[in-house]
A and B are shown apart, each in its own frame.
Chain A
Amino acid sequence: MDLKTKALLKSIWVFHVSAGSCNNCDIEILDCLTPRFDLERFGIQLVGSVRHADALLITGAMNRKSAPRMKKIYAQAPKPCLVIAVGQCALSQQMFRYSYNVCEPLDKILPVDLYIPGCPPRPEAMIDGIVKLVNKMKGKK
């Protein structure tokens, strides 16, 4: 487990899922790959299949259609897999909380390792969050 996690941290491959978001957070995530912030130089890359993922980036307030799919996706990801909740909707569902179509918040469904607040969080905030997570995981060993 330790060796796997260590290898994972060197170059995290992320799979991004939107569980009913307004799209802002998703675009800011993609912004991180663009030349101004350029996360790919750290080895962080978006992958096309959840089976290649080291981390799941989840945005959006859970709604009824997407909550069961989140569980399925998490089950399909090879462990160890980090779960990162991006944006206020994934954290606490903000103003959509009492809607008829929105169900439990993300951390009641999946074990979340990192919360990045903001609406939408700036790319700098996301990078800062990931750095903190990596340091924390290294500190554990």
Chain B
Amino acid sequence: MSHKVIVPIGPYHPLLEEPELFQLHVEGEKVVDIDIIIGYSHRGIEQLAETKHLDQVPFLVERICGICSSSHPYTYVLAVEDILGGEYKIVPERALYIRTIIDELQRIHSHLLWLGLAGHFIGYNTVWMWAWKYREPVLDMFEMITGNRNNYAMFKVGGVRRDIKDEDVPILKKALDDLLPAIDMFRGAVMDDPVIHARLKGVGILTKQQCIDWCVVGPTARASGINIDVRRDEPYGACDRIDWKVIIEKDGDIFAKTVIRILEMYESIRMIRQCLDKMPRGEIDAKVPDIPPGEGIGRVEAPRGECFHYIKTDGTNRPVRLKVRAPSFMNVASDKVGAVGGTISDATITLAAVDPCYCCTERVAVINKPDNKKILNGWDLIKLSQEKTRKLREGLEK
């Protein structure tokens, strides 16, 4: 005789930023089903975009998500340039390199952010503090180039809005060099710690077939052996002019996802260094003709996966239709198979492992099952997760 409890995680939590409600159906300790209810952040952006001019839309679209704040405007700009014949036909060389620099810097800051959150969920608060501490120099780099720590407003159709000054280049390179020992430290901490192995290995596995059926993208897919990366499949910016590699893992569990994100940070630093060295002098934007009627598609590898925009124009200066698909739309839906079968204490880390961008925030209002007195909220779930780590560590130390 087992009774089902519904445990809600979400929508408002002090740590998780965006609201989303997950209802876990639990029998005993095991999660048997999960309902995902989103829509708390729905602001009607696609419809708003139809009321704005084509060059106002990057500002609107930038605020879809704060973490991957340069992916959406870049994708939009690529979609519009697709109507005109493609990025490589219009955008000058120097702008391509600057675009890639911004894109890769954003990847570093996003992965560091995720690392901190994941550390917090499994009880390593020190990891959280250190990861975010080393995120600050990355934000300083952004501020030096663009003037703001987040929401950079760098992309426009035909190029970029601001240039990187020559005297800033050595400062940027030094900041990147200072970042390397920190990432080495994280790599050592994650790859060698037996407690982390015990917590993350074999947990939240998504098999290759499940990834294909649920059409997941990004590190979530690459962790299960699916070899996709928009930067290599359909190069944009300076990605085909510099040397880098795609990181793939086979196991599909959370440990694999963590390893991929850490190794991608190394690759990003390499890419930015090469861009800073190879960047030619020249214009940073091109004069763009009026946009003719047509349809365009843009794709970019955001930190979470493939970001996709489709735009339809009719010759006026407003879009007829803008379709935005963020990578988390596909990845969060796959939680339905990722979290089921695990225990409650693994629930938070599994849900966070796909790095949701309409993030789950926890909510204190709890759903009461009529026949069951035990009530848990998301804060308790995180405590459960941290408890499990503590017990594991004690067990290993004996």
Which A residues fall within an 8 A CB radius of B? Answer: 15-28, 30-31, 34-36, 46-51, 60-61, 63, 65-66, 69, 72-73, 76, 95-96, 98-102, 119-120, 122
List the B side residues contacting A30 at CB < 8 Å.
Answer: 15, 17, 132
Q: Is the CB of B63 within 8 A of A95?
A: yes
Is B364 part of the contact surface with A, judged by Cβ < 8 Å?
yes
Task: Tell me the smallest distance from the CB of A14 to a CB of chain B, in Å.
Answer: 8
Interface centre among B15, B43, B357 (most CB of A within 10 A): B43
Given the known A-B contacts A65-B42, A120-B66, are A27 and B60 also in contact in the complex, defined by CB atoms under 8 Å? no
A-contact bits for B291-330, CB 8 A (1 contact / 0 none): 0000000000000000000000000000000000000000
Assess whether B19 is in contact with A20, with CB atoms less than 8 Å apart: yes
B43 touches A102 (CB 8 A): yes
B39 lies within 8 A of A65 (CB): yes
Asked if B17 and A119 sit within 8 Å, CB to CB, the answer is no
User: Is the CB–CB distance between A96 and B15 below 8 Å?
Assistant: no
The B interface, classified by DSSP as helix, strand, loop or mixed, is: loop
Nearest CB on B from A130, distance (A): 17
For window 354-397 of B, CB contacts with A under 8 Å fall at 357, 359, 361-362, 364-365, 377-379, 382
Pairs across A and B, CB under 8 Å, 30 listed: A18-B18, A18-B40, A18-B361, A20-B42, A20-B43, A22-B65, A22-B66, A23-B17, A23-B65, A23-B66, A24-B69, A26-B17, A26-B66, A27-B17, A30-B15, A34-B135, A36-B136, A48-B13, A48-B362, A48-B378, A49-B379, A51-B364, A65-B39, A65-B40, A65-B42, A76-B364, A95-B48, A95-B59, A96-B44, A120-B150
Contact of A100 among B14, B47, B377, B379 (CB under 8 A): B47
- Cβ–Cβ < 8 Å partners of B44 in chain A: 96, 99-102
Determine how close the nearest CB of chain B comes to the CB of A75; give it in whole angstroms.
Answer: 11
Which chain B residues (203-249) contact chain A, with CB distance < 8 Å?
A: none
Report Cα–Cα, A133/B298, bound state, in Å: 46
Least CB distance from A77 to B in Å reads: 10
Find chain B residues with CB under 8 A from A15 CB: 14
Assembled-state Cα–Cα distance A60/B12 (Å): 12
Given known A34-B133, A95-B59, A101-B44, contact A17–B12 (CB-CB < 8 A): yes
B48 CB contacts on chain A under 8 angstroms:
95-96, 98-99
- Is the CB–CB distance between A23 and B359 below 8 Å? yes
> Which 7 pairs show the lowest CB-CB distances between chains A and B?
A24-B66, A48-B379, A99-B44, A26-B17, A23-B66, A34-B132, A101-B44
Convert B15-29 into 0s and 1s, putting 1 for each residue whose CB lies closer than 8 angstroms to a CB of A.
Answer: 101110000000000
Asked if B84 CB lies within 8 Å of chain A CBs, one says: no
When distances are taken between beta carbons in the complex, the residues of chain A under 8 Å from B40 are 18-20, 63, 65-66
Q: Which of B110-138 contact A (CB under 8 A)?
A: 113, 129, 132-133, 135-136
Given A23-B17, A35-B129, 13 new contacts (CB under 8 A): A19-B40, A27-B66, A27-B67, A28-B150, A31-B132, A34-B129, A34-B135, A46-B15, A49-B379, A65-B40, A95-B63, A101-B43, A120-B149
B132 touches A23 (CB 8 A): no
CB-CB under 8 A from B135, the residues of chain A are: 34
The residue that B136 contacts in the complex, of A17, A34, A72, A101, with Cβ under 8 A, is A34
Q: Which residue of the partner chain, among B132, B133, B150, contacts A24 with CB atoms under 8 Å?
A: B150
Q: Is there contact, CB below 8 Å, between A25 and B66? A: yes
CB of B14 within 8 A of CB of A16, answer yes
A residues in contact with B149, CB < 8 Å: 28, 120, 122
Which A residue's beta carbon lies closest to that of B143?
A122
* Chain A residues near B17 (CB-CB < 8 A): 18, 21, 23, 26-27, 30
A contact residues around B45 at 8 Å (CB): 96, 99
Contacts of B19 in A (CB 8 A): 18-20, 66
Residues A73 and B12 in contact, CB atoms below 8 Å apart: yes
Residues on B with beta carbons closer than 8 Å to the beta carbon of A100? 44, 47
CB of B43 within 8 A of CB of A96, answer: yes
